[in-house]
Amino acid sequence: MCPLKKIIHSKSSTYVLSKVFLDSKKFVFVNIYALNDQMQQLLFLTDLSNSVLNSYANETLVVGDELNCALTELDK
């Protein structure tokens, strides 16, 4: 069992961040769920990068995601 240090989630619940210690090593897990609208995605990812990911740049960061990025209009 690994002790969970801290859980942070966004107000819009589009990401969840967990700090975990495994074998005395700290990991920061971030699970992302991006919105479907491309403009909202851009704003969300920019904000996420500036506010969250940069804060943990020197940590062991593990990011999982559902980016909802369609390559073409047909993919929607």
Q: How many angstroms separate the first and last alpha carbons of the chain? A: 40
Tell me the per-residue pLDDT of 8-64, one tens digit each, with 9 for 90 and over.
666 665 788 888 888 888 899 888 887 777 788 888 888 888 878 788 888 999 988
Per-residue pLDDT at 51: 79
Of residues 8 and 69, more confidently modeled: 69
Residue 64, phi then psi, degrees to nearest 5: -115, 150
Every domain of the chain and the residues it spans: 4-66
Please state, in angstroms and rounded to a whole number, the distance separating the CA atoms of residues 12 and 23: 32
